[in-house]
């Protein structure tokens, strides 16, 4: 989720748009309510700063909580659990207890990684995840994948 450009864009819009609305609201409240502009402005400025600092943690925990609820709701046998992946010249073969999925290298849109995993995105919200701890030679696999994607 943290690797998705769409999620990052949505997070930044929500993170920075709300403080702008807070600041505008301080101007409106000061004018309409005959209040001290400085007092209202400082209050809303502090709220804006706190929002910018703490909203990302709330955002990710909210998405994580809802994802866990959705996983508990239905059968996810082919999605969760043990996967056996074969990287071939043609593409990826992903086998689970439910069946087998094949995708050609042209079906892989982007390649990215973090400290624990290598991600092979086949769409903006879906990826094949290769845990680095399960790979014999991470650098060799990365070189191979970069030549294919």
DSSP assignment of 54-103: HHHHHHHHHHHHHHHHHHHHS--TTTSS--EEEE-SSEEEEE-SS-EEEE
**CATH code, residues 84-148:** 3.10.50
Domain residues of the chain, as ranges? 5-73, 84-148
pLDDT at 55: 95
Q: pLDDT for 14-31, tens place per residue?
A: 999 999 999 999 989 888
Please state, rounded to an integer, the average pLDDT across all residues of the chain.
87
**Could you tell me the pLDDT band of residue 34, with boundaries at 50, 70 and 90?**
confident
Q: pLDDT for 55-98, tens place per residue?
A: 999 998 998 898 888 778 777 666 677 788 888 899 898 888 88
């Amino acid at each position: 989720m943290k690797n998705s450009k769409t999620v990052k864009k949505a997070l930044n819009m929500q993170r920075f748009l709300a403080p702008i609305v807070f600041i505008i609201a301080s101007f409106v409240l000061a004018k309409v309510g005959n209040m001290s502009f400085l007092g209202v402005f400082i209050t809303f400025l502090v709220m804006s700063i706190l929002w910018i600092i703490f909203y990302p943690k709330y955002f990710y925990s909210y998405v994580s909580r809802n994802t866990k609820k959705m996983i508990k709701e239905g059968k996810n046998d082919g999605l969760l659990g043990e996967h056996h992946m074969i990287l071939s010249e043609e593409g990826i073969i992903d086998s689970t207890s439910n069946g087998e999925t094949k995708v050609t290298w042209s079906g892989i849109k982007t390649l990215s990684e973090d400290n624990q995993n290598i991600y092979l995105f086949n769409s903006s919200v879906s990826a094949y995840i290769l845990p680095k701890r399960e790979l014999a030679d991470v650098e060799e696999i990365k070189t191979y994948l970069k030549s294919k994607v």
